[in-house]
Amino acid sequence: MAEQEKLDATFFAFKKRDRRFVLVRAAIGYFILYIAISAAFIALAWGSIGPLIGWYAEAMQEAMQGGEPAPPPAEVFALLPYAVLAGLASLIVFAAFEAACLRWLVRGESGGGVLGLTPGADTWRVFAVYFAWLGLFIAFSILIVLFYTLTTAIANIGGAARIIAMLLGALAPLGFLALLIWGAVRLAPAAATSIARRRFAFFAAPRVTRGRFWPLLGSFVILWVGCFVIVLIVGSIIQMPAQSVMAPVVADMMTGASSEIGPRMLEAMNSPVYLASMGAYTVFSAIASIVLYIAMFGVNARAVLAADETQPGAPT
């Protein structure tokens, strides 16, 4: 039974429904808006990108030769405001994308905005969920810092206390990893729950995942491992032409055979073969990522629907 539920959740987003291409349209809308944001960022920051690439190449060469890399150019700091704005805009667009997918998967609603992506209440609920995740991540990081501060203090006592602290320090990463996975799975449907309840419902997610931890974890593992294998194999094939162009530059950078690594790297990156290969890889990676996102949205949506089926009185 658990195995069947796992497989049902894994591919729930791709089940045939009464309307077709709703998720495809949302994905296209997200891709268009993301490309627009990226293009705007590149246009605004174009004067800083070239010096940044050149500095990075020279710094890598110096580091490989045991030298002291030069400090980053002033253009790097000029990128920061644009990067922050582009990152925030991208996050809002992704929230709109997830909200559009979840509206369809959970409530059967579609349309509006840019191919289904709207700046409505659902988008901002999902956006708020992202910041709740950020808050939990910060709290988790503080917990780790406090733990290792405590173990260091115990170790400084000496004697048996030092041995205990060493054991705790060695085993703690496994415990923190288990806690991270457990929390991530239990709270994974937070956005889907918020869409279903039509309110911010981040902390209602554990009720949705109660009794479904292992099926949900299995679904996520199948999706992540499957995507990783496909991207690794296909991506490596697509990048072969680009790697053949860049290989001589990388070899000279590692051996220090050339003092003009920065210009040579820029020249290689502007070659038609490199641009075509990396362009194809970028498109493939974007498509693979979007498919993975939609599949994960489907897993979370299925968890919410399953909870509503077993708890008919759940608030909406």
Q: How far apart are CA 86 and CA 35, in angstroms?
A: 11
- Mean pLDDT within 88-97: 96
What pLDDT, on the 0 to 100 scale, is given for residue 231?
94
Which tens digits make up the pLDDT trace of 278-307?
999 999 999 999 999 999 999 999 999 999
- Specify which residues 114 forms β-bridges with: 117
Which three-class secondary structure state does DSSP give residue 114?
A: strand
When mean pLDDT is compared across 27-31, 56-60, 203-207, 286-290, the lowest value belongs to 56-60
- Measuring CA to CA, which residue among 305, 308, 301, 286 is closest to residue 10? 301
Give the chain's largest Cα–Cα span. Answer: 72
Residue 165 pLDDT exceeds 90: no
What pLDDT, on the 0 to 100 scale, is given for residue 280?
94
Which tens digits make up the pLDDT trace of 227-277?
999 999 999 999 999 888 888 877 776 666 555 666 777 777 878 898 999
pTM above 0.75, yes or no: yes
- One DSSP character per residue, 123-184 reads HHHHHHHHHHHHHHHHHHHHHHHHHHHHHHHHHTT-THHHHHHHHHHHHHHHHHHHHHHHHH
What pLDDT, on the 0 to 100 scale, is given for residue 8?
75
- CB 185, CB 206: distance < 8 Å: no
Q: How far apart are CA 88 and CA 226, in angstroms?
A: 30
E strand segments, 248-304: none
Structure letter (DSSP) for residue 67: -
The structure tokens listed for 258 are 């050339």
- CB 110, CB 103: distance < 8 Å: yes
Amino acid code (one letter) for 163? I
What pLDDT, on the 0 to 100 scale, is given for residue 1?
39
109 contact partners, CB below 8 Å, separation of at least 6: 103
Which tens digits make up the pLDDT trace of 115-158?
889 999 999 999 999 999 999 999 999 999 999 999 989 888 87
Residue 189 pLDDT exceeds 90: yes
Residue 177 pLDDT exceeds 80: yes
Residue 316 pLDDT exceeds 50: no
Which tens digits make up the pLDDT trace of 34-73?
999 999 988 887 777 767 776 776 676 666 666 666 666 6
When mean pLDDT is compared across 91-100, 194-203, 206-215, 242-251, the lowest value belongs to 242-251
Burial class from Cβ neighbours inside 10 Å (0-12, 13-18, 19+) for residue 310 reads: exposed
